[in-house]
Amino acid sequence: MHEAELKDKQYVWHPFTQMQDWVSRPQQVIAAAKGIKLIDTDGNEFFDGVSSLWVNIHGHRKAEIDEAIIEQLGKVSHTTMLGLANIPASELAEQLVGIAPPGLNKVFYSDDGSTAVEVALKMAFQYWQHLGKPNKQKFISLEQAYHGDTVGTVSVGGIDLFHRVFKPLLFTPVHIPAPSCYHCQLAVDPAVCGMKCAAVLEQVLVEHHEQVAGLIIEPLVQAAAGMLMSPPGYLAKVRELTRKYDILLIADEVATGFGRTGKMFACEHEAVQPDMMTLSKGITGGYMPLAATLTTDEVYNAFLGDYTAKKTFYHGHSYTGNPLACAAALANLKIFREENIIKGLSPKIAAAADSLAEIANLEHVGDVRQCGLIVGIELMQDKSRKIPYPWELAAGAGVCLQARKYELIIRPIGDVVIFMPPLSSTVTEIKTMLDIIKRSINEVTAAGWSGGGLQPTDL
Ligand SMILES: *Cc1c(COP(=O)(O)O)cnc(C)c1O
């Protein structure tokens, strides 16, 4: 056993992990990486099939990002944004405003997706106080939503397994149905239902809009719910209704931002201009923690006034606007421009779709969902009757462990096998990775398999 594995097992507590299980099994230690491959302490190479949990964009050790960080190191690594500005944070704010949907003109920095959402919630809440509508205090969020792990973001979350235990600590949002056709509880035939889920939202707004500050949504893809995808037009309808009923729309693009869906931001697919947008994960190309909450002049201006009016937004973090992270983010955006990344995605997305059409035909694959290079493959014990595998069987975890034998690292959410490769993956690499997934699903779901005693992996 490598020394690092010993020390890990003795001292480290891992996220979303049953540690009793973790310490009892051999674990892999990553020592290095290159391109879309991770290299472990034995020198074995693996495809990074989930972009190191949805953050990596252009591969690892991308020369331009490495150099940008090194160059910034030669100037200054960190200074506070309380009372001081810095060069990379100013430059990055201008560029983020330049690529964001129109109207988002102001950038509030923080450190990760959870803090970006926390900022949006507090900002939206305070905004209505300043506007003289102090009753607008509630939030609408989607069932199955995931917006982070802090107490505020867990409050607007909707994943029972993660959130149930914290219930007494949380504020209560108004939940609306997740707009996921495969799991729809509202309509018999989602193809012709006229979006009943949007009709439910309108009922909620009619009833509650005077108490509601904002609606928060993961646009197009509810990622941590298992890549649940909304039907075309749903997001635009949400924008229409939130405007009609005077509710702020918060688009949480922490997972979907920076090209994952085939466009820079998911909101672009339906020409939606939210009032706030939260960004993190891909913002630095997957190099460093950084997040941003973008908002409109209208929201920003509501906080202006003489300091004695106490309209200041009293929120900030020690590492807000960190210059090293901002330098990485600037290099990330430069690569998007210079290598025409978004344009280059079409053949990759099409190649994934080709391979997925075959996977969809497998006996134990109930549903295949794809949005750009975000893919969820949902396993079912009985496909025709939509009967899932027993949770304890950990079928999704079984498939992912099998894939590791073929040098692909992926991670499931329950029985949804997630595939979210770096955008820099080539067509050939995408096909190779999906071939491995197909083979692994076949082997694990073959007759007689009864689970490998694994822990179910839920995120
Ligand atoms: C990952 C994620 C978050 C939380 O981001 P962290 O950086 O893990 O705190 C928030 N919203 C969405 C949609 C996410 O996918």
- Tell me, what's the pLDDT at 459? 62
Ligand 1 center from residue 133 Cα (angstroms): 30
- Tell me, what's the pLDDT at 138? 98
- Three-point CA angle 173, 176, 181, nearest 5°: 150
DSSP sequence for 43-106:
S-EEEETTHHHHT-SS-BS-HHHHHHHHHHHTT-S---SSS---HHHHHHHHHHHHHSPTTEEE
- Tell me, what's the pLDDT at 458? 66
Element (H, E) at 176: strand 174-176
- Three-point CA angle 257, 274, 231, nearest 5°: 70
In DSSP terms, 153 is beta-bridged to none
- Tell me, what's the pLDDT at 161? 84
Q: In what order do the strands lie in the sheet with 30-34?
A: 30-34, 37-40, 45-48, 408-409
Q: What is the mean pLDDT of residues 117-121?
A: 98
Q: What is the mean pLDDT of residues 300-315?
A: 96
Ligand 1 center from residue 420 Cα (angstroms): 15
Neighbours of 383 (CB within 10 A): 15
Q: Which SS3 state, helix, strand or coil, does residue 365 take?
A: strand
Question: For residue 385, what are the CA distances in angstroms to 293, 338, 378?
Answer: 43, 49, 14
The minimum-distance atom of ligand 1 relative to the CA of 113 is 5
Whether 457 shows a pLDDT value over 80: the answer reads no
Whether 404 shows a pLDDT value over 90: the answer reads yes
Distance CA 85, CA 81 (A): 6
Distance CA 175, CA 140 (A): 6
Taking the chain, what is the end-to-end CA distance rounded to the nearest angstrom?
Answer: 26
Q: Could you tell me the two tokens for 187?
A: 């309509």
Distance CA 438, CA 203 (A): 42
Percent of the chain with pLDDT over 90: 93
Determine whether the shortest distance from the Cβ of 284 to ligand 1 is under 6 A.
no
Confidence category of residue 163, pLDDT binned at 50, 70, 90: confident
Whether 172 shows a pLDDT value over 90: the answer reads yes
Determine whether the shortest distance from the Cβ of 430 to ligand 1 is under 6 A.
no
Whether 427 shows a pLDDT value over 80: the answer reads yes
Assess contact for 313 and 123: CB atoms under 8 A: yes
Q: What is the largest CA-CA distance in the chain?
A: 72
DSSP sequence for 228-286:
EEPPTTHHHHHHHHHHHTT-EEEEE-TTTTTTTTSSSSGGGGGT---SEEEE-GGGGTT
Distance CA 310, CA 74 (A): 39
The minimum-distance atom of ligand 1 relative to the CA of 291 is 7
Determine whether the shortest distance from the Cβ of 148 to ligand 1 is under 6 A.
yes
Distance CA 1, CA 41 (A): 10
- Tell me, what's the pLDDT at 190? 80
Ligand 1 center from residue 255 Cα (angstroms): 6
Whether 415 shows a pLDDT value over 70: the answer reads yes
Distance CA 28, CA 39 (A): 10
Confidence category of residue 455, pLDDT binned at 50, 70, 90: confident
Neighbours of 120 (CB within 10 A): 32
- Tell me, what's the pLDDT at 286? 98
Determine whether the shortest distance from the Cβ of 254 to ligand 1 is under 6 A.
yes
Residue with the nearest Cα to atom 10 of ligand 1? 147
Question: For residue 69, what are the CA distances in angstroms to 30, 43, 252, 293, 328?
Answer: 22, 26, 27, 23, 6
- Tell me, what's the pLDDT at 310? 92
Nearest Cα neighbor of 379 from 413, 419, 415 is 415
Whether 304 shows a pLDDT value over 70: the answer reads yes
The CATH class of 66-338 is alpha beta
What digits encode the pLDDT tens for the residues 197-250? Answer: 999 999 999 999 999 999 999 999 999 999 999 999 999 999 999 999 999 999
Distance CA 211, CA 137 (A): 6
The minimum-distance atom of ligand 1 relative to the CA of 149 is 9
Q: What is the mean pLDDT of residues 391-418?
A: 95
**pTM of this prediction?**
0.97
What digits encode the pLDDT tens for the residues 328-386? Answer: 999 999 999 999 999 999 999 999 999 999 999 999 999 999 999 999 999 999 999 99
Q: Where are the domains of the chain?
A: 3-57+342-446, 66-338
The minimum-distance atom of ligand 1 relative to the CA of 117 is 10
Neighbours of 36 (CB within 10 A): 23
Whether 187 shows a pLDDT value over 90: the answer reads no
Minimum mean pLDDT range among 122-136, 176-190, 267-281, 332-346: 176-190
Whether 164 shows a pLDDT value over 90: the answer reads no
Q: What is the mean pLDDT of residues 287-296?
A: 98
Q: Which CATH number fits domain 3-57+342-446: 2.40.30.10, 3.90.1150.10, 1.10.390.10, 2.170.120.20?
A: 3.90.1150.10
Over the chain, what is the mean pLDDT?
96
